[in-house]
Structure 1
Amino acid sequence: MTPSSDVAFTPIVKSIQSERGSREYYAKVEARGGFRTEVTEDLTELLSKVNTAYLATSNSVGQPYAQHRGGPKGFIRMIDDKTLAFADFVGNYQYVTIGNLAENPKAFLFLMDYANRRRIKIWGRAWISQDPVLVASLTPKDYRARVEQAILFEIEAWDINCKQHIPRLLDATEVEVIVNELSLRIAELEAQNASLRALIAQKG
């Protein structure tokens, strides 16, 4: 059987791996079947923490295009063990992604979890749905954005990259919560300190 990693490791890629000394390692990956092809617990866990993603497509002549997709954490949902879906919010009305998918369904999702220094690559096929029931089920609650449609993504293969060279970045909203909590605690301690100083001064 053809290993799932062949979605990325084309003959020319394998040739270059051989020239540069990494082919033996990736041959072992292929012997195990290649990349993973179904949604697993660790992928589900990662998706629950992701609030940003990059969706890459190309048109019929191979011209590539990548576009950011975002939402609240967990906006990318698991439909079944092979399919992901997410609400597609109204954007700049260029519709390049939609046009590309109409010509060429092959797509690629690149997910980043900067806080935990994780990145995931997902190859597959994507398509647009305006089914109102599906769109409603994917629409996040209490998120101020208008949903235009849903994007479904059928997984062909996925892989997790190493952490090397990934900067550790924290979500500004989460940092703000922590800073506010610390500021309140500091104010509380400063008030206690002032009271103790006043008490000492009175007794002195």
Structure 2
Amino acid sequence: MPPPPFGSAGEHQLQQHMGSADRAARFYDQQVRRHLTPEMQEFIGRQAMVFLATADSHGECDASFRAGPPGFVHVIDAQTLAYPEFRGNGVLASAGNMVENPHLGMLFVDFTHDHVGLHVNGVAHLYHDSDLRRLRPGLPTGVAPGRSPEMWVHLTVEEAYIHCSKYIPHLVPAPRPAGRDTSRPKDSDYFTRPRAAY
């Protein structure tokens, strides 16, 4: 049986309505893959950040962000990625959505060199660190020195495709100041306290 076509029913409906079905068909055929090409794997291996898209079982969405040293999202093979989840604010919004709805969208963007992005969509499973290391002994260690992952997100890739460079700005990484910047509120107060208090 052939694999299902790329794109959602909603995409195809709008493509017909907007007259872009032929252009979209060319994009699906030329750009979308059901696995990570060697070039995509190399690109992921040098990225230090990724944007995440999840939704719960009712379709309510959450967008989030993860960062780490280049390669913190580990390419296991052409069909599989994994990245560590560390202790945060305890809400677990992204991981909680994955428990209800395992579909995960990842967007890697190179803002500093090639100004291009890569979408990777697939099915996620959550693993304790020790459990995934038993299954995948090649997982990196020391991703965040002094910190151990609370869990890993293991993604089975369903599709991967380019995000074009047209509107990706050029950004220059700024050095992080040593210690906390006292000229701004603490993170926990940033959006909840009046600025006059600082």
Q: Give the TM-score taking structure 2 as reference length.
A: 0.76
**Identical aligned residues as a percent:** 27
Aligned residues: 170
Counterpart in the other structure of 2:171: 169
Larger helix share, 1 or 2: 1
- Can you list the C-alpha shifts for 1:67-99, whole angstroms capped at 9, x where unaligned? 211110111111122110012121111112222
Within the candidate set 6, 14, 17, 2:15 is matched to 17
> Which stretch of structure 1 is more off in the superposition, 55-64 or 135-144?
135-144
Counterpart in the other structure of 1:5: 6
Deviation at 1:19, TM superposition (A): 2.9
Letter paired with 2:170: R
Deviation at 1:169, TM superposition (A): 0.9
Letter paired with 2:72: F
- Between the aligned partners of 2:91 and 2:164, the Cα distance in structure 1 is 34
Within the candidate set 139, 142, 145, 1:143 is matched to 145
Distance 1:33 1:160, change over 3 A: closer
- Between the aligned partners of 1:29 and 1:139, the Cα distance in structure 2 is 38
Counterpart in the other structure of 2:107: 110
CA contact (8 A) 2:80 2:155 kept: yes
Deviation at 1:59, TM superposition (A): 0.9
- Can you list the C-alpha shifts for 1:28-52, whole angstroms capped at 9, x where unaligned? 344x387201121111111122111
Distance 1:52 1:144, change over 3 A: farther
Deviation at 1:140, TM superposition (A): 3.1
CA radius of gyration, larger in = 1
Distance 1:89 1:148, change over 3 A: same
State the 4+ residue runs in structure 1 displaced beyond 6 angstroms: none
Is the aligned partner of 1:129 residue 2:127? yes
Counterpart in the other structure of 1:192: none
CA contact (8 A) 1:138 1:150 kept: no
- Can you list the C-alpha shifts for 1:147-197, whole angstroms capped at 9, x where unaligned? 211111110001102111110112225xxxxxxxxxxxxxxxxxxxxxxxx
Runs of 5+ consecutive residues of structure 2 not aligned to the other structure: 176-198
- Between the aligned partners of 2:173 and 2:72, the Cα distance in structure 1 is 16
Counterpart in the other structure of 2:160: 158
- Aligned alpha-carbon RMSD (Å): 2.4
- Between the aligned partners of 1:68 and 1:139, the Cα distance in structure 2 is 21
CA contact (8 A) 2:31 2:162 kept: no
